[in-house]
Amino acid sequence: QKEVEQNSGPLSVPEGAIASLNCTYSDRVSQSFFWYRQYSGKSPELIMSIYSNGDKEDGRFTAQLNKASQYVSLLIRDSQPSDSATYLCAVNELTGGGNKLTFGTGTQLKVEL
């Protein structure tokens, strides 16, 4: 059973701080990793994708991947109240026609004024 683990939170950070979201996965052969943001009552929205070890930055977001430790994280700099949402970590399982994703349970982030 492939698993993706996340701390459910809530993670509370003050506005302007760095929010750090963590995820571990069990399948060593996974190659693609994704972070999705989901607002309450809405569908997930892709934030970041990362495929190789190291850091990948996009605006205020930085994804970090360590395949040896089977660990992927998402940093959000200068957190804003609008970042308050549930962040889902997803790990791929390659199928013949595309990606089959395994999702973590999500971490709820609250950015407080």
Partner 1 sequence: GAVVSQHPSRVICKSGTSVKIECRSLDFQATTMFWYRQFPKKSLMLMATSNEGSKATYEQGVEKDKFLINHASLTLSTLTVTSAHPEDSSFYICSAGGTGGISNQPQHFGDGTRLSIL
CB of 94 to partner 1, least distance (A): 6
Contacts of 27 (CB under 8 A, 6+ apart): 2, 91, 93, 102
CB of 55 to partner 1, least distance (A): 18
In terms of CB distance, is 19 or 90 closer to partner 1? 90
Whole-number Cα distances in Å, 31 to 9, 34, 77, 101? 26, 10, 26, 11
CA distance 73 to 50: 10
In terms of CB distance, is 75 or 101 closer to partner 1? 101
CB of 89 to partner 1, least distance (A): 10
CB of 44 to partner 1, least distance (A): 5
C-beta separation of 110 from 84 below 8 A: yes
Phi, psi of 9 (to 5 degrees): 75, -155
Phi-psi region of 41 (alpha: psi -120 to 50; beta: other; left: phi over 0): left
In terms of CB distance, is 34 or 62 closer to partner 1? 34
In terms of CB distance, is 43 or 69 closer to partner 1? 43
For partner 1, the binding residues (CB under 8 A) are 31-32, 34, 36, 41-46, 49, 51, 88, 90, 92, 94-101, 103-106
